[in-house]
Amino acid sequence: MTGHFDLAVIGAGIVGLAHAYAAARLGKRVVVIERNGRANGASIRNFGFITITGQEAGDTWRRARRSRDLWVEAAAAAGIAIEQEGLLLTMRRPE
């Protein structure tokens, strides 16, 4: 690999890609370095769920909502469909 980059991101999981995406949106030249040729870490084990459920009201919920909106935008740009099916909560306990 040759070239000059402003940022090297180690790991192509959800956190690494989020940082790479944010830097690229700011006009930075980014390279992502991943040790595996196929997805097999925690991000893949999460089944691709992007959800804001279970977040405390206030700043945490707003950050989760903003993060979800950014991933919807990135998925659309990449041609990846997002299925939004909603949530059915049948019972809730204080625990």
Q: What is the pTM of this model?
A: 0.63
| Domain contains 6 | yes
Strands (E) across the chain are located at: 7-10, 30-33
Where does the pLDDT of residue 45 fall: very low under 50, low under 70, confident under 90, or very high at 90 and above?
low
Q: Give per-residue pLDDT as tens, 3-37.
A: 899 999 999 888 888 899 999 999 999 999 998 88
Domain span at residue 71 reads 50-84
Q: How many residues appear in the chain? A: 95
Q: Which two tokens stand for residue 78?
A: 């990449």
Q: How far apart are CA 83 and CA 59, in angstroms?
A: 26
The confidence score (pLDDT) of residue 20 equals: 94
Q: Which two tokens stand for residue 4?
A: 């000059």
Residue of 94 and 49 predicted with greater confidence: 94
Q: How far apart are CA 13 and CA 60, in angstroms?
A: 22
| Domain contains 80 | yes
| Domain contains 5 | yes
| Domain contains 89 | no
| Domain contains 65 | yes
